[in-house]
């Protein structure tokens, strides 16, 4: 079956491209082109169709591109970059392939993107950053409780440096702006408690959601909600990688403690009442007093101070009475 993404790559937002020209270029029939483009909405892509003329994107797409990314990447970057059009999940592939430390895999589209707590993660073609990287931590798994928080700081720093405002963090791994969730972080670990451990760090960031994605994604936001410039995907991706390249070795050496006050300064629920829900449905509540030096959440609950590690816990804010 002719892939929709392959055809969308042939289109642009400046002028119409005829179905015939695409068919000729790809060596397929015009009806195959038309059938494939009928699925463009599944990718969050809106097209202008003009009978007898062709197709045009309503929004330009800045495709990920290695030379544009490396242009901004630090000279001594520890990362080796791979881009792919479509994949099930970048996290899954890096894990399956036991990819080397420093490997980065970014996809234009994921068919089975994974979020925390077994949830799906859906991006928007040309409107998201979807990537994973492998980092080796010499201190072992037992020191990595604060890793998703540290990664959140790297993301927030990169976005602020690019001129976006109002970025907040929600424990343990969400980036938010006032309108909703902007990015999520999925970390999967392997290795020893004390010896070296490899982390696959997956990041999904919404740059521009289509109107239908906005409608369907619960509480999702994109960078247009962060009063900044119109996002440049390659530049932003490289800036995030640069921040991670600086922060991850420091985190490995010094842990989360030196980052704690910066995290708390961006913490959207600092001092708020919240409900904690564990996978078996058990709930408890209390006032969020902050983060411990190892990244655990500190809550003053009915039974005194509660210290919570990420695990499978999910957190809800209690609405003010
Ligand atoms: C969350 O639930 O908030 C975490 C979402 C993480 C999504 C990213 S997208 C790139 C990488 N590959 C995946 O399958 N998931 C992560």
Return the CATH number at 304: 2.30.30.100
What CA–CA distances, in Å, run from 34 to 2, 7, 108, 287?
Answer: 10, 10, 21, 56
Mean pLDDT of 257-277: 93
Provide the percentage of residues in the chain whose pLDDT is more than 90.
74
124 ligand 1 Cβ < 6 A: no
Do residues 294 and 146 touch, judged by C-beta distance below 8 A?
yes
Looking at 57, 83, 102, which one is the last position of a domain? 57
From the number of C-beta atoms within 10 Å of its C-beta (0-12, 13-18, 19+), residue 218 rates as: exposed
- Cα–ligand 1 centroid distance for 202 (angstroms): 5
The whole-number pLDDT of residue 25 equals 93
Q: Any idea which residue has 């629920």 for tokens?
A: 269
Residue nearest to atom 9 of ligand 1 (CA): 204
- Cα–ligand 1 centroid distance for 174 (angstroms): 11
Q: Grade residue 52 by pLDDT with cuts at 50, 70 and 90.
A: very high
116 ligand 1 Cβ < 6 A: yes
Mean pLDDT of 53-63: 96
Provide the percentage of residues in the chain whose pLDDT is more than 70.
98
How confident is the model over 162-213, as pLDDT tens digits? Answer: 999 999 999 999 999 988 999 999 999 998 888 899 999 999 999 998 877 7
Looking at 242, 265, 288, which one is the last position of a domain? 265
The whole-number pLDDT of residue 309 equals 84
125 ligand 1 Cβ < 6 A: no
Residue in 107, 127, 169, 202 to alter for ligand 1 test, most ligand atoms within 8 A of Cβ: 202
Mean pLDDT of 66-94: 97
295-304 burial, b at 16+ Cβ within 10 Å, e below that, comes to bbbbbeeeee
Lowest mean pLDDT among 65-79, 158-172, 207-221: 207-221
From the number of C-beta atoms within 10 Å of its C-beta (0-12, 13-18, 19+), residue 113 rates as: buried
Mean pLDDT of 247-266: 96
What CA–CA distances, in Å, run from 158 to 165, 231, 244?
Answer: 11, 12, 9
The whole-number pLDDT of residue 318 equals 75
Mean pLDDT of 268-296: 88
Q: Grade residue 131 by pLDDT with cuts at 50, 70 and 90.
A: very high
Lowest mean pLDDT among 6-10, 178-182, 308-312: 308-312
How does the average pLDDT of the chain come out, rounded? Answer: 92
- Cα–ligand 1 centroid distance for 216 (angstroms): 18
The whole-number pLDDT of residue 313 equals 67
Residue in 117, 130, 151, 169 to alter for ligand 1 test, most ligand atoms within 8 A of Cβ: 130
Give the range of the structural domain holding residue 8, as residue numbers without chain letter: 4-57
Looking at 15, 38, 57, which one is the last position of a domain? 57
Residue nearest to atom 15 of ligand 1 (CA): 114
Q: 296 and 161, same structural domain? A: no
**Ligand 1 atom closest to residue 203's alpha carbon, by position in its atom list:** 8
- Cα–ligand 1 centroid distance for 184 (angstroms): 6
Residue nearest to atom 11 of ligand 1 (CA): 202
Q: 206 and 73, same structural domain? A: yes
Model confidence at 321: pLDDT above 60: no
Residue in 82, 84, 99, 113 to alter for ligand 1 test, most ligand atoms within 8 A of Cβ: 113
Which residues are identified as catalytic? 116, 181, 316
Enter the DSSP assignment of 143: G
- Cα–ligand 1 centroid distance for 24 (angstroms): 37
pTM for this predicted structure: 0.93
How far is 242 from 72, CA to CA, in rounded Å? 8
148 ligand 1 Cβ < 6 A: no
Return the CATH number at 9: 1.10.10.10
Q: 282 and 200, same structural domain? A: no
| Three-state DSSP class for residue 71 | helix
Task: Return the higher-pLDDT residue of 216 and 269.
Answer: 269
DSSP symbols for 235-295: HHHHHHHHHHHHHHHHHHHH-SGGGHHHHHHHBTTTT-EEEEE-TTS-EEEEEEEEE-TTS
The helix (H) or strand (E) run that includes residue 94 is helix 90-96
Task: Return the higher-pLDDT residue of 311 and 170.
Answer: 170
Q: Any idea which residue has 């483009």 for tokens?
A: 37
Mean pLDDT of 89-103: 97
- Cα–ligand 1 centroid distance for 114 (angstroms): 5
Q: 285 and 179, same structural domain? A: no
Mean pLDDT of 120-130: 93
Q: 280 and 253, same structural domain? A: no
The whole-number pLDDT of residue 299 equals 92
Model confidence at 1: pLDDT above 60: no
Mean pLDDT of 122-141: 94
Q: 280 and 218, same structural domain? A: no
Number of domains in the chain: 3
How would you classify residue 271: left for phi > 0, otherwise alpha for psi between -120 and 50, otherwise beta? left
* 127 alpha carbon, distance to own chain's centre: 11
Residue nearest to atom 2 of ligand 1 (CA): 115
């Amino acid at each position: 079956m002719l892939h929709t993404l392959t055809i969308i790559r042939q289109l642009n937002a400046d002028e119409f491209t005829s179905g015939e020209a695409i068919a000729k270029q790809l060596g397929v029939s015009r009806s195959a082109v038309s059938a494939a483009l009928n699925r463009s909405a599944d990718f969050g892509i809106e097209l202008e169709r003009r009978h007898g003329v062709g197709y045009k994107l309503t929004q330009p797409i800045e495709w990920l591109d290695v030379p544009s990314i490396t242009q901004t990447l630090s000279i001594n970057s520890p990362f080796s970059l791979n881009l792919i059009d479509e994949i099930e999940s970048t996290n899954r592939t890096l894990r399956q392939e036991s990819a080397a430390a420093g490997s980065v895999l970014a996809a234009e589209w994921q068919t089975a993107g994974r979020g925390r707590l077994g949830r799906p993660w859906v991006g928007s073609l040309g409107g998201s950053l979807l990537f994973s990287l492998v980092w080796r931590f010499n201190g072992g798994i037992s020191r990595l409780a604060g890793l998703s928080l540290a990664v959140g700081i790297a993301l927030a720093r990169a976005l602020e440096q690019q001129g976006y405002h109002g970025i907040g963090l929600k424990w343990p791994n969400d980036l938010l702006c006032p309108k909703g969730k902007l990015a999520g972080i999925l970390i999967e670990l392997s290795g020893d408690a004390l010896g070296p451990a490899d982390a696959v760090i997956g990041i999904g960031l919404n740059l521009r959601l289509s109107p239908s994605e906005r409608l369907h994604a619960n509480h999702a936001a994109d960078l247009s909600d962060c009063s900044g410039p119109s996002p440049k995907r390659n530049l932003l991706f490289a800036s995030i990688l640069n921040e991670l390249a600086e922060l991850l070795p420091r985190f490995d050496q010094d842990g989360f403690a030196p980052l704690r006050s910066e995290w708390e300064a961006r913490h959207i629920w600092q001092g708020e009442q919240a409900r904690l829900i564990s996978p078996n449905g058990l709930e408890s509540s209390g006032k969020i007093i902050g983060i411990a030096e190892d990244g655990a959440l500190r809550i003053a609950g009915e039974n005194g101070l509660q210290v919570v590690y990420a695990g499978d816990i999910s957190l809800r804010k209690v609405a003010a009475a």
